[in-house]
Structure 1
Amino acid sequence: MTDPVLSVRGLVIDFTGRPGRRALVQDVDFDVSRGQSVALIGESGCGKTLTSLAVLGLLPPRMRVSAGSITLGGVDVLSAGERTLRGLRGRTIGAIFQEPMSSLNPTMTVGDQIGESRRMHLGESRRTARARAVELLDRVGIPNAATRARAYPHEMSGGMQQRVMIAAAIACEPAVVLADEPTTALDATVQADILTLLEDLRRDLGLGVLLVTHDLGVVADFCADVVVMYAGHVVERASAKKLFHAPRHPYTEALLRAVPQAGHARTTLNVIPGRVPAGGALPTGCRFRPRCSYAEPCCAEPQLGAVNDDAHFTFCDRVAAGELVLGSRS
């Protein structure tokens, strides 16, 4: 593995002016290198999107990074000024969001929107940027690219809009692309096409991809490494092969059990009881304890146990102590 383009260490995100409240995101670590695909997974409310917004330097005004570091292309994101951050966005890191219609400018043609990034970061002329935009639209599989470049977002389908978002994200040949639920609003066939496109771009362009999702099927098809988050904390981190075959944390196991299994008709779908706690109402001890079928009284105490062997990290006192060993999945 090459040196990481994106490195996050000990990331802590909390509310400004709220001393004493437990952090919304705490002690998050992961790396993304060129050509590597990494997934951030977990239920809604687990801190995935907050983490990705911190990487982009776009946290909401009432939230702040209070500890840790984020390094992107050798630049310290947390100490960088707004001008430096604007230079990183688009040039070093591209972003693909889950609702393209709310991200694309309805008053600009898609060709101009794609070309705008190249004009800003690369200093290209309007004509050159437009020509490159047509090439990019063709690269992401949009037919009649020269004609489509003159269209407005509302004149395109959801799948086409998402392809435009991808073209805009890779317009300046960034080292890494952050994809936040890029297939959520699309039907299954279009989802498969978008994932195939992203995989082709990762392989052909050497892109690093940070995929933020709750869809484990997408992760299994696309990602090599997985970071599992629960209530703002990383509970497990491993290769996709290891994690899907032999999860070590009870939350990861519960997520995998909740995935419908093909060929098992008329079976009851497993669910995780309860819901992810709100940021201001986190339980003491293990944050997953109220929903965990393996919880013991010791889980209400501060959790200190983390095990990281064979490139497989797990944060659970009972696993660290050898008291809890989850079985392999067939």
Structure 2
Amino acid sequence: MSHPTTDAVLEVEGLTLDLAGDLAQPRLVHDVTFAVPPGASVALIGESGCGKTMTAMAVLGLLPAAVRVGAGSVRLDGRELLGLSPREISAVRGGAVGAVFQDPMSSLDPTMTIGDQIAEPRMLHLGERRAPARERARELLELVGIPDAGRRVSSYPHELSGGMQQRVMIASAIACEPRLLIADEPTTALDVTIQEEILELLDELRAQTGMAVLLVTHDLGVVADVCEQVVVMYAGHVVERAAATDLFAAPRHPYTRALLRSMPGLRAPRTLLDVIPGRVPPPGAIPAGCRFRPRCGFAVGDCTAEPGEDAVGDGHTTRCLRVARGDLDLEVAR
């Protein structure tokens, strides 16, 4: 298995998360490894329940109380984040690492003007006074494409459309010029036209500022447009890692192939989309061996053994016993 590069902004290596409580599940997320190079955009993709957001929350130090880090390492510019005190990880979050979530109205404070909400990270993390921080907030609103920014700094969240609220969230997330931006389903609550605008904005900001981006999404169309590397997750495992061009040209894992076949843009008009049978196993019901086995049309008897992550090309890995043996490409899914 290949390992993260030492010059990466973010290095996640062997991350394992355990769930306690009524739905106790050891290795809920298991042996997750990937890296985000400087200035790059990397996607974490998979269906809901595959562990994408939980992995991102581990990076941000925002895991639910019932989830514990069982093993692994999360490093930002070489600094280990796991094990930091709440004060230390809070200093990282919002400073060196910015975050944008899918529902801006649940993240924005309805009692504060958007100018104050964007200025607050600069005051907290950079020690900037309110007046220059508010002026920078105005500049950031212009940067993210909000018209009449001088007036909008005094607006409240409810006075803005959903698309503008998300732009405010992005402005707040980049207020301290972070090294890494984590965007967790940032366009899910928006209509298609606004989704495209937000994705283009993120890509433009990455090019302008040099920040790295970790995009958490279930939308492969999004990945094709703005990401250079792709990490495919299923039921808490990384099942495939590759450059975006390689992944779309030659997906190797059966789950990745199934995801691509289900994309509307790849099918002829008026044809039914392919559907992956079954569903992602919930906590407490993850099968032994290959976690995708119960839904896989390529599964055979020895898929009850847990596969490792094997290199199948330059920077391309997959977690499938049959791919590792080289006998899968000759088969047709049942």
- TM (norm. structure 1) is 0.96
C-alpha distance in 1, partners of 2:325/2:106? 48
Percent identity over paired residues: 61
Structure 1 gap ranges (5+): none
User: Does the residue aligned with 2:264 lie in a helix, a strand or coil?
Assistant: coil
Say whether residues 1:96 and 2:104 are aligned partners.
no
* Alignment partner, residue 61 of structure 2: 57
Say whether residues 1:193 and 2:197 are aligned partners.
yes
The Cα shift of 1:322 comes to: 1.2
Tell whether the 8 Å contact from 2:16 to 2:69 is kept in structure 1 after alignment.
yes
The Cα shift of 1:90 comes to: 1.3
Tell whether the 8 Å contact from 2:41 to 2:212 is kept in structure 1 after alignment.
yes
Q: 1:116 aligns with which of 111, 117, 120?
A: 120
Q: 1:138 aligns with which of 135, 138, 142?
A: 142
C-alpha distance in 2, partners of 1:102/1:18? 28
Cα distance change on mapping 1:290 and 1:115 into 2, 3 Å: same
Task: Tell me the alpha carbon deviations over residues 131-183 of structure 1, each in whole angstroms, 9 at most, x when there is no partner.
Answer: 00000001000000011110000110000000000000000000010000001
Cα distance change on mapping 1:109 and 1:234 into 2, 3 Å: same
The Cα shift of 1:281 comes to: 0.2
Tell whether the 8 Å contact from 2:6 to 2:78 is kept in structure 1 after alignment.
no
* Alignment partner, residue 85 of structure 2: 81
The Cα shift of 1:263 comes to: 7.0
Say whether residues 1:266 and 2:251 are aligned partners.
no
* Alignment partner, residue 253 of structure 2: 249
C-alpha distance in 2, partners of 1:326/1:7? 35
C-alpha distance in 2, partners of 1:263/1:66? 42
Say whether residues 1:150 and 2:160 are aligned partners.
no
* Alignment partner, residue 216 of structure 1: 220
User: Does the residue aligned with 1:251 lie in a helix, a strand or coil?
Assistant: helix
Q: Which amino acid aligns with 1:215?
A: D
Q: 1:298 aligns with which of 294, 297, 302?
A: 302
More displaced stretch, 228-237 vs 309-318: 309-318
Q: 2:313 aligns with which of 304, 309, 313?
A: 309
* Alignment partner, residue 171 of structure 1: 175
More displaced stretch, 40-49 vs 28-37: 28-37
C-alpha distance in 2, partners of 1:202/1:233? 28
More displaced stretch, 104-113 vs 72-81: 72-81
The Cα shift of 1:20 comes to: 8.3
Aligned length: 327
C-alpha distance in 2, partners of 1:48/1:38? 12
Tell whether the 8 Å contact from 2:16 to 2:27 is kept in structure 1 after alignment.
yes
C-alpha distance in 1, partners of 2:330/2:101? 35
More displaced stretch, 316-325 vs 306-315: 306-315
The Cα shift of 1:307 comes to: 2.9
Cα distance change on mapping 1:63 and 1:324 into 2, 3 Å: same
Cα distance change on mapping 1:46 and 1:142 into 2, 3 Å: same
* Alignment partner, residue 48 of structure 1: 52
Cα distance change on mapping 1:118 and 1:299 into 2, 3 Å: same
Task: Tell me the alpha carbon deviations over residues 260-285 of structure 1, each in whole angstroms, 9 at most, x when there is no partner.
Answer: 13671221111100000012101121
* Alignment partner, residue 14 of structure 1: 18
- TM (norm. structure 2) is 0.94
Task: Tell me the alpha carbon deviations over residues 85-134 of structure 1, each in whole angstroms, 9 at most, x when there is no partner.
Answer: 11101111000000000000011000000000000111111101100000
User: Does the residue aligned with 1:196 lie in a helix, a strand or coil?
Assistant: helix
More displaced stretch, 73-82 vs 204-213: 73-82
C-alpha distance in 1, partners of 2:272/2:219? 19
The Cα shift of 1:239 comes to: 0.3
C-alpha distance in 1, partners of 2:294/2:103? 33
Tell whether the 8 Å contact from 1:202 to 1:209 is kept in structure 2 after alignment.
yes
Q: Which amino acid aligns with 1:192?
A: E
Tell whether the 8 Å contact from 1:247 to 1:326 is kept in structure 2 after alignment.
no
The Cα shift of 1:309 comes to: 2.9
* Alignment partner, residue 72 of structure 1: 76
C-alpha distance in 2, partners of 1:192/1:2? 33
Tell whether the 8 Å contact from 1:92 to 1:175 is kept in structure 2 after alignment.
yes
Tell whether the 8 Å contact from 1:73 to 1:92 is kept in structure 2 after alignment.
no
